[in-house]
Structures are given as structure tokens and as C-alpha cells.
Chain A
């Protein structure tokens, strides 16, 4: 809309036509303001209530409007993570409970996409999260306590086997060689 108006003002091609257009636009889309506030939920473990109040410039609340709530995150660049959406009631208030994934300060945005008669708008608020959802944890591999000991047992067996082979070879060789020092003759039959 503003583009249309700026175009009209700068170019000044047809004053009447542009004024008419601007007038139609203003008449069609009333501006609205979105006030966003965050507060802890009644049950703190459930997180925070994000409450968006959508009010038209003439002071009347905008009801039956869909408000989308976003959390501003850094994930491969700044992104708006969709938390969810809610519809405004008779007072123009839309609420959503949000339990952040992590503690710490967060920036929340509520957006109203606009509809016939009401222009799009958005509101911002911050949130210092002191409760968060259960963190993602990696469970240790099953049986890891047991399987970490198995190599030692098997290693001991392997060493024992090697010792036995060594004994069979070296022991026999020693026995044969010491036996040879004694007097004696090899019998062929």
C-alpha cells in the first residue's frame, strides 16, 4: 500500500487518480496495532503465556483474527520459528502457551497477516525463560556396562591361548634339546 502511495506522491502523474486510489486503499485497510506480552503460566511448569492484543487504530479490538507466534532463533541464519497460532476473542486477545526448549532470553514475535479491512501488523516481546521443556538426551547404548568388560575377558583368554601355544612350542623344543644332551641312540625300530 505504502508503495502505491509513494509512487503516487513521487511521480505525480495523475493527482486525482492517485488520490482516489490512495483513498480506496486507506478505506479498505484500516491499520491495526498488535500488543504482545508474555507472562508465566498459572502452572509455571507449563511455560509462558504469550498474549497478543490486536487493536485497530480507532481503538476497537479486532476479533476472529488469526495471530501466529514466532520465536526468533539462530539456525543457519536468523529465522522465525513458528510456535503456533491462535484466534483473537471478543477483546481482540489471542493467547498461546509456550514452553521453550531452552532456558534464557528469547525474542517472541506475534504476527497478524491482515485480512479484508485490517492491515497486517506485528508485535514483539521478550521472554526470559526460567523453565524449559525436557532437554533432548541420548540414552546410553543398552548393555554398555556389560559389553565394555567383555573385551578384557576375551583378551585374557586370547593371551592364555598364546601362552599355551608358546609353551607347547618352546617347552617341547627345550625338552627335546635338553633330552639330546644325554647319552642315547635313536632307535629306528
Chain B
């Protein structure tokens, strides 16, 4: 297997506060790789660095053997990076269908856009029913569907998924994980940021644990479940 995404010594900071310190990790093509960690560990910042929304203070990022460290966001998207952002972030005053079209913004072929629309509507029939409705008027669960559908419109090769279960009912959380597995089954590599450790480790092939902006553990789910660093990352070290 080859590395689709590779971070080398990534450093990021807001003002004088370091948020990521020397983070190196690899996402192999065809896998579900997860990034675990408590609130404020730097997970979302790491996703933002991969997308080019937060500038690095150091280190480099490679995607499919291109160095993308200095590429603007839209050029990274053109290379096949998609994102389902934290908090869903649908465009509230665009209709459901316009949100999906925005997700396919770089796709020029109408035939392919229509194909993708149909595909998303097949996975989420609810969105088809509401295609003319403003996204801001959807329920939280429907917005989650829309956010996922929008992230799939460009048929990304690497999908970054940030906290998909945040604020959803347990039933919807399970549904979300099922959809993620389906997406992965269609050949998309997934880099998943989550707080829900148990469910995440159930579907992931490999995981990293972030605490205080540093990687403190990595390994397969079996290894991570047994690693005290994972517990410590969420509940603080017992010796502290």
C-alpha cells in the first residue's frame, strides 16, 4: 500500500500558542485512518492544515506524491481531497440541491454532476424529497446527511471527516458510521477525526492519538485499545 497523505513534522500555532508540535503521520490509500484525542488536542487544526485553511509554521504535507504544503485550498480540492467539516457547515441560504452543486463546483461535466446527484439522492432519499428546501431549515440529522452528500459530490480520493457524530442522537451516530463504511467500500480513503473512541476504533484500520498537539500513540485498533496513552489522552495521565 502507498501513502496517500503524509505529514512530516507539521507545526501549527495560533499567535504564540502552539497547537500542533512536530506531527508526522501517514494515511495509506484505501484505508480508514482515525485521529483520536480530547477537545483542544489539535485534531481540527490538523484537518485545517491538510486543507490549507491554517498555515503551517513548519513541516511539510504530501498528497499522492505532490507536495501540497503551499497550495491554496481549491487546488488541493482539485487533486481529490474532499471534506465533511466539523459542525456540518451547510450553506444555510442555499437549497439542498444548490449545496450539493457547490460540492461539485470543480466538476465541469453536467452528465457527471447529474450522476453524482442521483447517487447522493439514492443514498439519502430524504435529501431528494427536500432538494428545493433551504438547507438552514433542515433538521440536524438532515444537515448531517447533506454535509456528507456534499462532500461526496466531487468523488474525492481522500475524504477528511471531522467529528461527524458531534451533536447527533445515538441512532444517527450509528447511521453515520454505517454510511462512512459504505463510502469507504466504494473506494474512498477516509481520514476520520472523532471523539467517539469505541465506534471509531470499530471501523478504523489504523489510528493516531493526539494530546496537547503531539502524537502520543499510534497503531491498529487492537494496539490502541490496549495502549494506556489513549486513556491518558482523554482522561489525563493517572500520574499527573
**Do chains A and B stick together as partners?**
no
Interface residues of B (CB under 8 A from A): none
Interface residues of A (CB under 8 A from B): none
